[in-house]
Chain A
Amino acid sequence: MLPGPVHPVPGPVAGYVGADVPVELLTAAGYTPVRLAGSPSEDASPGRAYLGGGLDPVACSILTRLLAGTYGPLDVLVVSRDCEASLRLFYVLRELHRVTDVALPPVHLVDVLHLPHRTTTRYVLAKVREFRSWLGGVDDAALADAVVAHDRLRARVREIGALRAQRRLTGTEMLDVVRTACTRPVAEVLPLLDTLLTELAERPARPGHPIHLTGSSHDDPAVYAALEDAGLLVVGEDHDRGDLWALGDVGLPDPGRLELALAERYQSAGPAAPRASIRDRAAHTAAAVRDRGAEGLLSYVRRFDDGPPWDFPAQRAAAGVPAVLVDRQDYGGVDAARVVRELHLAVAA
């Protein structure tokens, strides 16, 4: 599959949190956008001390790693509003800047909202412009180039994702594809993905019982790996580090409307659990289950990830396949044997 990152990212680096950051602007401003991930195997208590005990542990882990300098030097830090935990992380970072001398890069919030209304579009457009001026000196030509490059990247990832219907790659591998696409410079990733597409065309189907995974998004492969080791195959999901990440293009409109095109793309990016309505999520789940030939639906939910369990009853009703919810899971942990057993029971029922 993909070669791991062997060398550090060249040039200025923008660390970012969440799926809603318009990375095109970062690329156009000369940064390599690097999406920050937490790690379930590291102690996150320093971050938790600031964020409190009731928030998605991913945010606590990211904050811990920021405080410890784990990500290496970051020139700027951009946080989106993709979920409550990201927003609270931003507030803590802003407060750390204000009242402590903890060394942190300059931090900015991009408040992309998602209701399907024109009022929201106008607001998101204002936030895109605010972000652009915060970055300073992003010219239109560079932005147009960045839009083309990121659209191309998303298109490749979509093509790779579509091959999951033929089971050419595992969910764990797909997670790695997206991780690479959002942590390395676009120009470096595109040729890798082209090569991968050629390889996958020849590859025999992966074994395993095909399921659609919903619930919490995964920034670490541990849960995927455990599920797939236990005999499941994640052929689709609705995660912002998976299929949803690649949904929707900016396109290349008149040069005067680039910011609007960015606003509309990020406002209506795929229906992520924390922000989309129950109805949209259920419809999306049903379509994804069908398109990928999933034979089971698993909602895996981390403790303190509050949105997904509310989605589940409607998802189960819409999916038309046996469905199981495992909620309040520890970050990175899953009892895969139990999941398989419950899926079997759901099949029997």
Chain B
Amino acid sequence: MTRLPSATAATAHQRRWFAELQAQVAAGAPLALVNADAPQEIFRAMGIPYVVNQWWASIVAAKRRTQDHLARLRERGYPDYTEQYSSTALGSAFDTDPGTAPWGGLPQPSIVLAETTGDASRKIFDVWGEQPGVEFYPLESAAAATVPERWWELMPHRWEEAVGTDRLDLMTGELEGLIRFLEQRTGRRFSEQRFAEVMALVNEQEERNRRTRDLIAAARPCPVAVTDSIPAVMVPQWHRGTGWGRDAARNLHDEVAERIAAGSAVCPGERARLMWVGRGLWFDLDFYQRFQDRYGAVFVWSMYLAIAADGYVRHGDDPLRALAARFAAFSDQLYTPPWSAEWYVKEARSHGVDGVVHLVSDDARGSWATTRALRAAGIPVLELHADNVDARRSDPAYLDGTVGGWLEAEVLPARADA
């Protein structure tokens, strides 16, 4: 089936944007490197260009350069075996020959922003902060003792209730500090009005993603490949708060709707609908295709569109607090039970999946609870033990054998009985 125009357009846009960014930074613009789960909208509103840490890691992985990036860390005495997804970009900072780097290389940032999640990711950013001309602005990553189960119903409007006042007070205070820090560091101004516009654009974009997700959930057969929907959602996600990002989400929606109307299928003989839980397998993007070809098994779901649909929209009169609400519990939505576990079950049901492939890496967060909740809901789950960027532990033969065996033994027979 032909590629989704949105996916192609997104990739092309991303290349143009990155080339422009390199030129801007070469001309003296500040550059921020920002973690995927940290608030980027303030940079957008202030016109400070930024690169998302994990996006860059995925580019490096797609170019199969992760190992030499990790080797640069090892040479400097840092571990190459923890949080590789977060530390890859740091390897770019130590590149002695940026001319040969993916996409012409990552320009050296002047500001890095991350939440102090995990035990290592904060340290990775500490090392960034030690580089000449780079400053690290750390944000706390607060945890809640009690959380609501059906957060997706609360988040758009009742986020104060869902996230909790203490966490919101904390992050709002930190964001006020961030604005002051950026004003001083870059000389750029923060306009309240411009920020409100950015926040409104993000809500529009994610509302469109929500409609797209709902279309795909209801469609039989599946009209889009995950390998198309991932870039078509994620690239605009890194540009959220722009007109381009919003329009890209609209185009994606319209293309999906057209395909459904035309009855087109990713896999004409669709025999099983699968859900992919976990980060994308960046180093082996053919993976998803192989199961369609061999078994008629289609991956109809990945978290990227679904989290865009449910995880980002925050309405409210106070845009800064709404932004805090977008990020104060961001990784909880995906990784912290019961939030995450109940959400995966809801998504599995609404998409009518026959089985879930659950990528469990070494730093698996909340995996037991997710698998348990899905199985308790009567959905077959395969726990696939692999890492999403470190191909050393995930060769195709292993992946294909494991997933193929499970499809043959569990998923396809159940579907045939139904």
Contacting pair B177 A51 (CB below 8 A) = no
Does A341 belong to the interface (CB within 8 Å)?
Answer: no
Q: A49-B368, A91-B336 are in contact. Are A306 and B119 (CB under 8 A)?
A: yes
**Stretch of A2-10, A113-121, A224-232, A244-252 on the interface side:** A113-121
Q: A109-B143, A123-B166 are in contact. Are A309 and B78 (CB under 8 A)?
A: yes
Q: A92-B368, A99-B376, A111-B142 are in contact. Are A309 and B126 (CB under 8 A)?
A: no
Contacting pair B126 A111 (CB below 8 A) = no
Most central of A91, A123, A304 by chain B CB within 10 Å = A91
Residues in A neighbouring B173, C-beta threshold 8 A: 118-119, 122
How far apart are A115's CB and chain B's nearest CB, in angstroms?
Answer: 6
Nearest neighbor of A303 in chain B, beta-carbon distance: B81
Contacting pair B82 A306 (CB below 8 A) = yes
Does A98 belong to the interface (CB within 8 Å)?
Answer: yes
Contacting pair A117 B174 (CB below 8 A) = yes
Give B85-127 interface residues, CB cut-off 8 Å to A: 116-120, 122-124, 126-127
Does B245 belong to the interface (CB within 8 Å)?
Answer: no
Partner of A120 from the list B118, B170, B363 (CB cut-off 8 Å) is B170
How far apart are A117's CB and chain B's nearest CB, in angstroms?
Answer: 7
A-B contact pairs, 11 of them (CB 8 A): A49-B368, A52-B360, A95-B368, A113-B116, A119-B177, A120-B170, A275-B122, A278-B127, A279-B130, A304-B362, A312-B77
B interface, over-half SS: loop
Residues in B neighbouring A113, C-beta threshold 8 A: 116, 140, 142, 170
Question: In the docked arrangement, what's the CA distance between A304 and B167, Å?
Answer: 28
Q: A278-B126, A313-B77 are in contact. Are A54 and B119 (CB under 8 A)?
A: no
Contacting pair A279 B126 (CB below 8 A) = yes
Does A209 belong to the interface (CB within 8 Å)?
Answer: no
Contacting pair A310 B140 (CB below 8 A) = no
Does B79 belong to the interface (CB within 8 Å)?
Answer: yes
Nearest neighbor of B77 in chain A, beta-carbon distance: A313
Give B131-157 interface residues, CB cut-off 8 Å to A: 138, 140, 142-145
Does A126 belong to the interface (CB within 8 Å)?
Answer: yes
Contacting pair A278 B130 (CB below 8 A) = yes
Does A327 belong to the interface (CB within 8 Å)?
Answer: yes
Question: In the docked arrangement, what's the CA distance between A279 and B338, Å?
Answer: 36
Does B296 belong to the interface (CB within 8 Å)?
Answer: no
Contacting pair A328 B338 (CB below 8 A) = no
Interface size class of B (residues with CB under 8 A): 35 or more
Partner of A306 from the list B118, B144, B145, B336 (CB cut-off 8 Å) is B118
Question: In the docked arrangement, what's the CA distance between A313 and B79, Å?
Answer: 10
Contacting pair A91 B76 (CB below 8 A) = no
Question: In the docked arrangement, what's the CA distance between A123 and B308, Å?
Answer: 29
Does A22 belong to the interface (CB within 8 Å)?
Answer: no
Contacting pair A278 B123 (CB below 8 A) = yes
Contact with B along A170-185 (1 / 0, CB 8 A): 0000000000000000
Question: In the docked arrangement, what's the CA distance between A347 and B69, Å?
Answer: 31
How far apart are A249's CB and chain B's nearest CB, in angstroms?
Answer: 24
Q: A115-B140, A117-B177, A309-B78 are in contact. Are A95 and B116 (CB under 8 A)?
A: no
Contacting pair B376 A310 (CB below 8 A) = no
How far apart are A71's CB and chain B's nearest CB, in angstroms?
Answer: 21
How many A residues, CB 8 Å from partner?
54
Does A290 belong to the interface (CB within 8 Å)?
Answer: no
Q: A117-B174, A306-B118 are in contact. Are A53 and B78 (CB under 8 A)?
A: no
Does B369 belong to the interface (CB within 8 Å)?
Answer: yes
Q: A126-B166, A305-B119, A327-B79 are in contact. Are A310 and B368 (CB under 8 A)?
A: no
Contacting pair B170 A123 (CB below 8 A) = yes
Contacting pair A277 B143 (CB below 8 A) = no
Does B279 belong to the interface (CB within 8 Å)?
Answer: no
Residues in A neighbouring B337, C-beta threshold 8 A: 91, 94-95
Question: In the docked arrangement, what's the CA distance between A111 and B116, Å?
Answer: 13
**Stretch of A80-88, A141-149, A188-196, A258-266 on the interface side:** A80-88
Known: A119-B170, A119-B173. 17 other contacts (CB 8 A): A54-B362, A54-B364, A84-B119, A109-B145, A111-B143, A115-B138, A117-B177, A120-B170, A122-B170, A122-B173, A130-B166, A274-B119, A275-B119, A306-B83, A310-B120, A310-B127, A325-B77
Does A307 belong to the interface (CB within 8 Å)?
Answer: yes
Contacting pair A81 B143 (CB below 8 A) = yes
Does A311 belong to the interface (CB within 8 Å)?
Answer: yes
Question: In the docked arrangement, what's the CA distance between A74 and B143, Å?
Answer: 24
Does B372 belong to the interface (CB within 8 Å)?
Answer: yes
Contact with B along A99-119 (1 / 0, CB 8 A): 100000000111101010111
Q: Residues of B at under 8 Å CB distance from A?
A: 76-79, 81-83, 116-120, 122-124, 126-127, 130, 138, 140, 142-145, 166-167, 169-170, 173-174, 177, 336-338, 341, 360-369, 372-373, 376
Residues in A neighbouring B338, C-beta threshold 8 A: 94-95, 98
How far apart are B55's CB and chain A's nearest CB, in angstroms?
Answer: 22
How far apart are B31's CB and chain A's nearest CB, in angstroms?
Answer: 22
Partner of A52 from the list B77, B116, B123, B364 (CB cut-off 8 Å) is B364
Question: In the docked arrangement, what's the CA distance between A277 and B77, Å?
Answer: 17
Does A156 belong to the interface (CB within 8 Å)?
Answer: no
How far apart are B252's CB and chain A's nearest CB, in angstroms?
Answer: 34
Residues in A neighbouring B144, C-beta threshold 8 A: 109, 111
Does A132 belong to the interface (CB within 8 Å)?
Answer: no
Question: In the docked arrangement, what's the CA distance between A66 and B76, Å?
Answer: 41
Question: In the docked arrangement, what's the CA distance between A274 and B117, Å?
Answer: 10
Nearest neighbor of A278 in chain B, beta-carbon distance: B126
Partner of A311 from the list B123, B166, B364, B369 (CB cut-off 8 Å) is B123
Question: In the docked arrangement, what's the CA distance between A275 and B120, Å?
Answer: 9
Contacting pair A277 B126 (CB below 8 A) = yes
Give A292-328 interface residues, CB cut-off 8 Å to B: 304-307, 309-314, 316, 325, 327-328
How far apart are A343's CB and chain B's nearest CB, in angstroms?
Answer: 17
Contacting pair B372 A310 (CB below 8 A) = no
Contacting pair B120 A306 (CB below 8 A) = yes
Residues in A neighbouring B76, C-beta threshold 8 A: 313
Residues in B neighbouring A54, C-beta threshold 8 A: 361-364
